[in-house]
Structure 1
Amino acid sequence: MPTLAPVPHAPRKDRNEPSAVRGWLAVLAVTLGIFSLMTSELLPVGLLTPVGAALHVSEGTAALMVTVPGLVAAVSAPLVTVATGRFDRRLVLAVLIAIVGLANLASAFATGFAVVLAARFLIGISVGGFWSVAGGIALRLVPERHVTRATAVIFGGVETASVLGVPAGTFIGDLSGWRTAFAAVGGLGLVALTAMLFLMPKVPAGRTLTFGDLPKVWKGSAGVRIGIAMTFLVITGHFLAYTFVRPILQEDGVGHGMTGVLLMVFGVAGIAGNFIAGALVAKRLRQTVAGIAVLLAAAMPLLALVGDTTPTAAIVLVLWGLGYGAVPVAFQTWILDAAPGATEAASSLFVCAFNLSIALGALFGGFAVDGLATVSVLYIGAALALLTLLLVARRGAAPARA
């Protein structure tokens, strides 16, 4: 998932620089918060089948647990940032992560699907707001020379949640039930809340994003528009299929207890894909984005064609994981390179597009699963990934380094 650029501030005097040790403790607290936040958003991916069965809804309807927070997060990202612009950033982040913890606990004890959806709505507010506020928090926590690394660590929590948090949650669900998985993530959110309250200093509000910045960067950069369009295609295609990977694997004959293990394989491959892409984007950005599209477009149909045993499914999920794990760093780099003078506004557009795509992927995947066949989402997702190649090939619309 996506990294936000630090918010620019006036240079600090040395005597006012925060302590490196205390600053890094605060950074780790925020990282734990964003890990629990993103794990919360994507946790239902591995739990659709048991949640749907327990609450008497179809798997397509259960996918609303992914759609609702994605839609809400896309809207809340700029709204929460502007609305809380005058408040202490520690307080804002603490409130948002507290909502996540309590909402997950509410889901764990829910007796009906409506209660779960209400909790997912609250999680969506927290996801959008937390990303936007946390984007520049590293600059306020650590000395100037540590800002780049601290920002990378904070948003490493996003990617780690995407590729490891969800498999771990699924594994817990397989062992002890889906309610235990939600309760565990809720507890993790409350631990993150405690860490932020004790380890973070007060962070007075600084410069915030305004609504007027968004249309300016959109109209002023063809590279940003192309990057947003590619994000929409790839992320929508991925979540259209990945949201239903559990029922797909079970229909293929993969054992019930192996689903969490296979998603963990996907997660490890995703981390590898992130590091590989990080090494490539500096000089081969366009080729890296094209390679991501090809990997995703190949892996999804392959899962339908050869993923009928645990070993073959694992191999295909490694390919899929390599492709998806490379998405955040590659697409984020494209967006930020396309708008070097307006990185915060460009990043906010990226956050909105990313979360909206998660929601639409799960939504339309649900329609396809209920109206066509579960396996159909793999072919539709692959088609969307292939369309990305047409945008990558456009001349004059890519950042300079691409």
Structure 2
Amino acid sequence: MTTGRDATARNRWIAVSAVAFGTFLLVTAEQLPIGLLTPVGSALSISEGAAGLMVTAPSIVAALAAPLVPVLVGKINRRLLLVALMGLMTLANLASALAPNYPLLITARVLVGVAIGGFWAIAGGLAVRLVPAPLVPRATAIIFGGVGAANVFGVPLGTLVGGLASWRIAFGALSVLALVVLVALVAVLPPLAADQPVGLRRLADQFRNQGVRIGILATFLIVTGHFAAYTFISPVLQDLSGIDGQLVGPLLFGFGLAGVVGNFIAGATVAKRLHRTVLIIAAALGVTVLLYPIAGVTVAGGMTLLVVWGLVYGGVSTSLQTWMIRSAPQAIEEASALWVAVFNLSIGLGALAGGTIVDALPLEGILWLAGVLLLLAGLAVWTARRNANLR
């Protein structure tokens, strides 16, 4: 016979799963246009460069929205806020599907960015309010498992739908899925009252916290370094490793699968060895990327390093979010908002820096830059070795 306590625990894990589905949808929505640039550009008579703003715009807006949305909404119940943001995601993707011209499409993508930044800022630290403290790392891993799942299934499937049907159908499907998530959130999320409003002063106060400062710096270096190199992984695999272009898609699928595995490995290790886990991730990423110009010049070497890269990077979101939670246990929402802002901003900066270097230097140059940034992140993490909250 199921007891009331068992039912409550089961309902909380269902709520965690619903939030994970939400993060899956957010990342899919953010990155889906990557595979649709050509058809969108052709349909709206714009260049692929202009179409690329469908990715850049929501990333930048999400970086701004992450700290601002919690500030602007004050003490509104977080359950209601998450539902409202998913409602915005539903409407924004519907507007994207129906947009008759480029300005309206970009406007819709800006609204997607607001939903991404606001939802992620709240959802990132939600595990501590849904499950008991010892289970928070596992719940956080499930929530961020949605990120890895989006890279493995969301973007490729959305691109496939866009290719078989149309890019408008792909965005429309996202709108339908967002509505499904909205209904799920209404059904399973418990009330999540805000203890106190997030203010600009409380956000600024987080920079006095050594753990938060190092977590923000490590996030900036890791994510910037990763995306500086990963944005150009296709030419790296083809030109450096000699891999046939037709194999790039399946290999990136393998990268995503390895990332999902890495996410849950990190979720299992951060509970006991948080500092060591983050340090190993930063160092292993740096070494893997730096090895590419040396050991990745063969097909076998390039494939092996790509899988290792995916496995290690898969643990980044879970481990760094846990770092922020441990660093600021009394200000989780504020620390999470800053972290999400830096994470999204670093995606854009990494791609921009990578493009600048690739245009000016040989392809290996971007790998050297990324490797150095990742090792610097490891050095920053190492300086927090005496912080008792992060052990």
> d(CA) in 1 for partners of 2:26 and 2:251?
23
Which one-letter code corresponds to 1:274 in the other structure? N
Q: Which amino acid aligns with 2:149?
A: T
Equivalent residue number for residue 87 of structure 2: 98
After TM superposition, the structure 1 = structure 2 runs for residues 240-389 of structure 1, keeping only pairs within 5 Å, are 240-246=228-234, 248-249=236-237, 254=243, 257-300=246-289, 313-369=302-358, 376-389=365-378
Aligned partners of 1:386 and 1:139: how far apart in 2? Answer: 30
Q: Is the 8 A contact 1:273 1:323 kept in 2?
A: yes
1:381 corresponds to which letter in structure 2?
A
Give the whole-Å Cα distance in 2 for the aligned partners of 1:304 and 1:199: 49
Letter matched to residue 243 of structure 1: T
Summarize the Cα distance change of 1:156–1:208 in structure 2 as closer, same or farther, 3 Å threshold.
farther
Q: Which moved more, 1:274-283 or 1:41-50?
A: 41-50
Superposed displacement of residue 360, structure 1: 1.6
Total equivalences in the alignment = 386
CA contact (8 A) 1:222 1:397 kept: no
- Taking structure 1 as reference, are residues 107 and 384 closer, same or farther at Cα in structure 2, changes over 3 Å only? farther
Residues 365 and 145 (structure 1 numbering): CA distance in 2 closer, same or farther, change over 3 Å? closer
Task: Kindly report which structure 2 residues correspond to 1:1-400, keeping only aligned pairs within 5 A, or say none.
Answer: 19-20=8-9, 22-45=11-34, 56-58=46-48, 63-108=52-97, 113-135=102-124, 153-162=142-151, 164-170=153-159, 172=161, 180-200=169-189, 206-219=195-208, 221-246=209-234, 248-249=236-237, 254=243, 257-300=246-289, 313-369=302-358, 376-394=365-383, 398-399=387-388
Contact 2:289 2:367 in 1 (8 A): yes
What CA distance in whole angstroms lies between the structure 2 residues aligned with 1:345 and 1:377? 33
Larger helix share, 1 or 2: 2
The TM-score with structure 2 as length reference comes to 0.79
Q: How many Å apart are 1:235 and its aligned residue?
A: 0.4
CA distance in 1, matches of 2:234, 2:21: 26
Cα deviation, 1:275-322, whole Å, max 9, x if unaligned, reads 333344345444433332333234445556776887654323211101
Residue 172 of structure 1: how far off its partner (Å): 4.8
Code of the residue aligned with 1:235 in structure 2: it is: V
Structure 1 residues 25 and 279: CA distance shift in structure 2, 3 A: closer
Per-residue deviation, 1:374: 6.6
Code of the residue aligned with 1:128 in structure 2: it is G
Deviation at 1:57, TM superposition (A): 3.0
Comparing 318-327 with 283-292, greater Cα deviation is found at: 283-292
Contact 2:122 2:337 in 1 (8 A): no
> Which deviations, in whole Å up to 9, do the C-alpha atoms of 1:361-400 show, x marking residues without a partner?
2333344455657765444322321222332343667555
Provide the secondary structure at the position in 2 that maps to 1:209: coil
Return the TM-score normalized by structure 1. 0.77
State the alpha-carbon separation in 1 of the partners of residues 366 and 169 from structure 2.
29
Alpha carbons of structure 1 residues 330 and 174: separation in structure 2 relative to 1, 3 Å: same
Q: Unpaired runs of 5+ in structure 1?
A: 1-14
C-alpha contact (below 8 Å) 2:324/2:335 kept by paired residues: yes
SS at match of 2:173: helix
**2:285, 2:309 within 8 Å by CA — same for their partners in 1?**
yes
User: 2:222, 2:373 within 8 Å by CA — same for their partners in 1?
Assistant: yes
Per-residue CA deviations over 1:71-96 (Å, capped at 9, x if unaligned) read 22222122211222344434322231
Question: Partners of 2:91 and 2:298 in 1: how far apart?
Answer: 39
Q: 1:386 corresponds to which letter in structure 2?
A: L
Contact 1:168 1:264 in 2 (8 A): no
C-alpha displacement of 1:195: 2.6
Which residue number corresponds to residue 11 of structure 1? none
Contact 2:229 2:354 in 1 (8 A): yes
Query: Aligned equivalents of 1:394 and 1:100: distance in 2?
Result: 40
The amino acid that maps onto 2:224 is T
User: Per the alignment, in what secondary structure is the counterpart of residue 208 of structure 1?
Assistant: coil
Shift of 1:35: 1.6
How far did 1:127 drift? 1.2
Cα separation, partners in 2 of 1:374 and 1:46, compared to 1, 3 Å? farther
Contact 1:223 1:335 in 2 (8 A): yes
Distance in structure 1 (CA, Å) of the matches to 2:76 and 2:384: 44
State the Cα distance separating 1:142 from its structure 2 match: 7.1
Cα RMSD (Å)? 3.9
Q: CA 1:377–1:116 in 2, change beyond 3 Å: closer, same or farther?
A: farther
Please tell me the residue identity of whatever aligns with 1:326: G
Report the AA paired with residue 223 of structure 2.
Answer: I
Instruction: Measure the CA separation in 1 of the matches of 2:332 and 2:204.
Output: 13
2:181 alignment partner, SS class: helix
TM-superposed deviation, 1:358: 1.6
Flag the 1:89–1:265 CA change in 2: closer, same or farther, 3 A: same
Quick check: 1:45–1:242 contact (8 Å CA) kept in 2?
Answer: no
What residue identity is the alignment partner of 1:70? S
Q: Percent identity?
A: 48
